[in-house]
């Protein structure tokens, strides 16, 4: 496994904290789109960095995705991953909203599907709307394992439901089970 990609929205900051505080190296790099306004994405990354063993920062163009590091998309910028030789490098830039969202989970997941293929794990968490469903389905069609948060543990069962309904979610889990599942899949 080369990469873990996570998308979340409403209720996602708490869900991300619940997952990331439980993760331990060795793990591949983690890229996250959380629907969040500018500045708050940096504050979220800084807060999580103090709570977690993994190194967490707001993503920036040119960042090399390193194992055991977490990159949160900056508010008002789409974040994508690109191959440079054997490295995965981030690109963060303003763009048209997708599903009324910038950053968009679909934009990130689409880049992961095309650049990382079946060497990535896709995770969709609580959130309103359907952002991420189509991108997660592309990841699954590339052979990536995919996880979705279940209805009972979601603050808003919109994004995970849309992904589940279109066949993008391979396994649906309660939030409390996500860290162990992510770790197990990422280390196989």
Q: DSSP string of 15-40?
A: HHHHHHTT--SS--EEEEEE---TTH
The per-residue pLDDT for 137 is 98
From 9, 41, 153, 154, active-site residue: 9
The per-residue pLDDT for 40 is 96
From 110, 131, 144, 150, active-site residue: 131
Told to judge if 9 belongs to the known catalytic residues of this protein, a careful annotator would answer yes
* pLDDT surpassing 90 at residue 88: yes
* pLDDT surpassing 90 at residue 188: no
Average pLDDT, the chain: 97
Percent of the chain at pLDDT exceeding 90: 99
Told to judge if 69 belongs to the known catalytic residues of this protein, a careful annotator would answer no
pLDDT tens per residue across span 24-53: 999 999 999 999 998 999 999 999 999 999
Domain residue spans of the chain = 7-186
7-186 belongs to CATH 3.40.50.180: yes
Whole-angstrom Cα distance, residue 146 to residue 100? 24
On whether the CB atoms of residues 173 and 149 are closer than 8 A, the answer is yes
Please name every residue paired with 68 in a beta bridge, in sequence order, or none if there are none.
none
Owner of token pair 């939030």:
175
pLDDT tens per residue across span 46-76: 999 999 999 999 999 999 999 999 999 999 9
From 35, 69, 78, 99, active-site residue: 35
Mean pLDDT calculated for residue range 115-131: 97
* pLDDT surpassing 90 at residue 161: yes
Please report, for residues 13, 14, 50, 175, the alpha-carbon distance to residue 44 in angstroms, rounded to integers and kept in the order given: 8, 10, 10, 19
Whole-angstrom Cα distance, residue 99 to residue 81? 20
Mean pLDDT calculated for residue range 129-153: 98
On whether the CB atoms of residues 16 and 48 are closer than 8 A, the answer is yes
């Amino acid at each position: 496994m080369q990469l873990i990609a996570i998308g979340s929205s409403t209720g996602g900051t708490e869900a991300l904290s619940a997952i990331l505080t439980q993760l331990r190296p060795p793990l591949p790099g983690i890229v996250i789109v959380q629907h969040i306004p500018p500045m708050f994405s940096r504050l979220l990354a800084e807060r999580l960095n103090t709570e977690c063993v993994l190194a967490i920062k707001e993503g920036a163009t040119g960042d090399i995705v390193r194992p055991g590091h977490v990159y949160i998309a900056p508010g008002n910028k789409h974040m994508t991953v690109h191959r440079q030789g054997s490295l995965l490098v981030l690109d963060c830039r303003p763009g048209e909203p997708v599903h009324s969202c910038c950053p968009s989970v679909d934009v990130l997941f689409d880049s992961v599907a095309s650049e990382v293929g079946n060497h990535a794990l896709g995770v969709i968490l609580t959130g309103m709307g359907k952002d991420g469903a189509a991108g997660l389905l592309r990841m699954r069609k590339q052979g990536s394992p995919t996880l979705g948060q279940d209805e009972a543990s979601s603050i808003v069962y919109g994004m995970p439901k849309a992904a589940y309904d279109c066949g993008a979610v391979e396994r649906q889990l309660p939030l409390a089970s996500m860290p162990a599942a992510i770790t197990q899949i990422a280390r196989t």
